Amino acid sequence: MTAGQGGIRPGEVALGFDPAERVSAGVVFIGRLRTPWGPGTCPKNLRAAREAGAAGRIEVDAPWRAGLEGLAPGMALVVLYWLGAGRRDLIVQAPRHRDSPTGVFALRSPVRPNPIGLAVVHCTGLDAAAGVVEVDALDAFDGTPLLDLKPWIAGIDLPPGGQ
C-alpha cells in the first residue's frame, strides 16, 4: 500500500507521502533468496523459521559470484534483502504482540521507509561457482531480492556487554 491508503490499525501513524517517491540512492539486486515461504506461510521472524526446520538458499547472480571468495560453511553471515511488497509509509505501527503503538525504528517489521530485511544466518553449504549459499533458515518469501551478504564477526558485530 502507498501513503494515504487505508488499512491501518488504531494508534498507527502514516506519513503524508510514500518514501518510495523520495529516492536518494540506488541499489542493485545481486541475487534472490530461495525459501519454501510465500504469502500466508512465511514465519514472522528468523527464530520461527528455524523452528519450522526449513533451510534456505541464497542464489547470487553471475556478475557477483567472485565476491563469495573467502566464505565457507560454518560461517555466520548477515543477509540484507529487499522487502518491497509491504507498505513504506507507516512510521508508527500497532503490532498485535505489543500493548501500544510503537515507532518503526523500534520494530523488526517489514513495513518500513526502506524495506530492508536483515537476517544473521549460518552458512551450511557453498558452491561459489554456481553462486549458491545454503543457510540454516530465512524468513522471507521465495524469490525475495538479495541486496548484500556480509560476514558476521563477533568482535565487531556483538555490542559491548554481550547481547
Domain-embedded: residue 129: yes
d(CA 146, CA 29): 5
Domain-embedded: residue 111: yes
Domain-embedded: residue 20: no
Question: Where does 35-75 show beta strands of DSSP type E?
Answer: 56-60
CATH number at residue 139: 2.40.30.70
Domain-embedded: residue 65: yes
Order across the sheet with 102-103: list the strands: 13-14, 90-93, 102-103
d(CA 160, CA 23): 34
Q: State mean pLDDT over 148-154.
A: 96
d(CA 146, CA 129): 18
DSSP state, residue 63: G
Percentage of the chain with pLDDT > 90?
80
Domain-embedded: residue 23: no
Residues spanned by the domain of 49: 30-87+105-153
The confidence band for 162, taking pLDDT boundaries of 50, 70 and 90, is low
Burial of 51 (0-12, 13-18, 19+ CB in 10 A): exposed
Q: State mean pLDDT over 58-71.
A: 98
Which of 118, 155, 140, 152 shows the shortest CA–CA distance to 57? Answer: 140
Q: State mean pLDDT over 93-102.
A: 91
Q: Three cell numbers at 77?
A: 553471515
Q: Does residue 152 carry a pLDDT above 70?
A: yes
pTM: 0.88
Q: Does residue 101 carry a pLDDT above 50?
A: yes
Q: Three cell numbers at 56?
A: 534456505
Domain count for the chain, please give it: 1
The predicted structure's pLDDT at residue 96 = 87
Contact, 31 vs 132, CB < 8 A?
no
